[in-house]
Amino acid sequence: MNRIYEKVMLVIFVVALLIAVYALYDTWYVFDHANDTSYLKYKPNVVNADGLPEDSPITSDMVGWITIPDTKIDYPIMQGEDNTTYLNIDPYGQFSLSGSIFLDSRNAPDFSDPYSVIYGHHMEYGVMFGALDEYLDESYLQSHKKGQLLVGRDGKVMYELEIFYAASADAKDDYIFDPAKYEELYAFLQEKGLKTDHRILCLSTCAGDASTTRTVVFAYILEN
């Protein structure tokens, strides 16, 4: 009986060890893919003034590029047929649990709508949209207000971003997450004493363990 017990315990130990090793590998794999910066060499108007090289592996679903200085936010913006397409697909069109930064499928790809929403996974160490948490601190927001939005695959249209407000929200708040309800959002922002005389961009990511809680950061899209 003792030998049977020892063998059972050994099997349980080995299985537990394998699960732990897989969990560590999976965590490393997801973070490594999220932290991949190889796409930066394809950033429009940075290494190639004519836009992306013809042989760029970034798919044709790319609609722009967002950069916020002094953060790790420097990513191509994708747009799929719906808002699930790029949850687990990277800018190269490959499966990735960290997905892509992507524009709401209901928005105009040229960011001409009064209100546009961009989504990204919340990753550790400020990767992807993990950096948005910092904007809930008003002093951080005031010192990190500037950003840049390049539009289109060629990036020839460029807008400055001015971040002006951040908050926690519920994913069920349609006035935030439905671009068509921008008038309700504008009314909410005006109640906060904020201006709404520019097009507005919202950056959204998950927050904490609550599945419906989101961190949202709002920026004006400024004409040059």
| Domain contains 11 | no
User: pLDDT digit of tens for each residue in the chain (224 aa)?
Assistant: 556 655 555 555 455 444 444 333 334 344 444 456 688 888 886 444 556 666 789 999 999 999 999 999 999 999 999 999 999 999 999 998 889 999 999 999 999 999 999 999 998 777 889 999 999 999 999 999 999 999 998 888 999 999 999 999 999 999 999 999 999 999 999 999 998 999 999 999 998 665 789 999 999 999 87
Phi, psi of 151 (to 5 degrees): -110, 135
| Domain contains 42 | yes
Q: Are 121 and 98 in contact (CB under 8 A)?
A: yes
* β-bridge partners, 221: 161, 199
Q: Give the three-class secondary structure for 12.
A: helix
| Domain contains 51 | yes
At 178 the pLDDT is 97
CA–CA dist 148, 67 (Å, integer): 5
What pTM, to 2 d.p., does this model score? 0.82
Question: Would you give the DSSP letter of residue 194?
Answer: -
Q: Which domain holds residue 123?
A: 38-222
Look up the CATH number of the domain holding residue 46.
2.40.260.10
Dihedral sign of CA atoms 202, 206, 207, 210 in order: positive
| Domain contains 4 | no
Task: Report which secondary-structure segment, H or E, holds 139.
Answer: helix 138-143
| Domain contains 108 | yes
Domain total for the chain? Answer: 1
